[in-house]
Amino acid sequence: MPMEQSLRSTAACSLSLLLCALALMVLIRKRHSHLPPGPKGLPMVGSLHRLGSRPHEALAALAETHGCLMTLQLGFVTTIVVSSSEMATEVLQKNNLAFAGCTVIEVMKIKSHYNGSLVWAQMGPRWQALRRLCNTQLFTPQRLDTLQALRYQKVHEMVELIRQTEQVVDIGRVAFVTALNLVSNMIFSTEMVDPKSGSAQEFEDVVWSIMEVSGAPNLVDYFPMLRGLDPQGLKGRSNKLFERLHQLLNVMIDERIQSREKGGVAKGDFIGVILDSNQENGVEFRRNEILALLTVQHYPCLCYAENEK
């Protein structure tokens, strides 16, 4: 008798789970009826299993079947994939306001870091102020032309360093230090590291680790109910890395503020512009926003160094 009751209970649970899964699939299909076509996914995981270890190749193959605009269900996240230049123009240029929202990955939700980042912040007055600041002070042709001599100088120094070194040269590290000093000159009007020393190692390790953590597949991004568990420990690791990076940047920001308070010579670098524009258009750039901006500016250094490797 107990065995029979156990079998009935198991059968009832299995039937309930099956009905729930079917109901969920019906709801998802109804909800997505107005979306572009795409591959049929599995219950719960959607099309995650189709991406494999080379997602860009998998998406290109799927686009050949389902078109340049397709819908993928990745876990509990609905994703629209654009895979042609014409469709990208339609989405990003002609309908940019409709698609201006940005999905923030979980590892970037650290101390409101994403709210002050030009990459992750949602469109609004603050984002517009950040964009205006970058467009008028950092990414202008005049500033790039002004820094042309500095770029030639740093590349020349890198080549000379390689020529004079009799031992095996770590090209990735040398390229990283060169790129880092270029960016730090734009931001702080100073070099952060000596190419001939190992002083860049901590900064390199921290920023490179942030790149690795932010690029790693995170279950929480596809299954939001796991947020409180952080099963892969990526958000905890990201929190520690950002804390250390911000400590390093805070030292340089505090030095500049102290210099300005003592009547030091004003410099036309990026941090000087931020401090001068702190009340521009009624939008105050708080310290966490400044740190987020500076953090994003250092990412190209790592991309450059990684390509050199």
What are the sequence ranges of the domains in the chain?
Answer: 32-99, 125-308
CB atoms within 10 A of CB 296: 17
Residue 47 to residue 168: CA distance in whole angstroms: 45
Task: Identify the pLDDT of residue 199.
Answer: 52
Report whether CATH 3.90.550.60 matches the domain 125-308: no
pLDDT for the residue 29: 53
Please state the rounded mean pLDDT for residues 131-151.
Answer: 77
Q: Report the 10 Å Cβ neighbour count for 87.
A: 16
pLDDT category at 301 given cuts 50, 70, 90 is: very low
Q: Which residues have C-beta within 8 Å of that of residue 198, sequence separation ≥ 6? A: none
Above 60 in pLDDT, residue 31?
no
Residue 197 CA to residue 159 CA, distance in Å, equals 16
Residue 302's pLDDT band, with cuts at 50, 70 and 90, is very low
Mean pLDDT of 2-13: 55
Residue 145, pLDDT above cutoff 50: yes
Say what the pLDDT of residue 232 is: 92
Question: Distance (Å, rounded) from C-alpha 75 to C-alpha 30?
Answer: 17
Structure confidence at residue 25 as a pLDDT band (50, 70, 90): low
Average pLDDT of span 186-199 = 68
| Residues 6 or more apart in contact with residue 129 via CB below 8 angstroms | 280, 281, 283, 285
**DSSP type of residue 258:** H
Q: For 78-112, how does the pLDDT look when each residue is reduced to its tens digit (9 = 90+)?
A: 888 998 888 888 888 888 777 777 788 888 887 66
Give the pLDDT of residue 67.
87
Burial class (CB in 10 A: 0-12, 13-18, 19+), 65: exposed
Task: Choose the most confident range, by mean pLDDT, from 56-60, 158-162, 211-215, 285-289.
Answer: 56-60
Mean pLDDT for 230-254 is 88
Q: Three-state SS string across 57-85, please? A: HHHHHHHHHHCCEEEEEECCEEEEEECCH
> Could you give the CA distance from residue 267 to residue 262 in angstroms, rounded to a whole number?
14
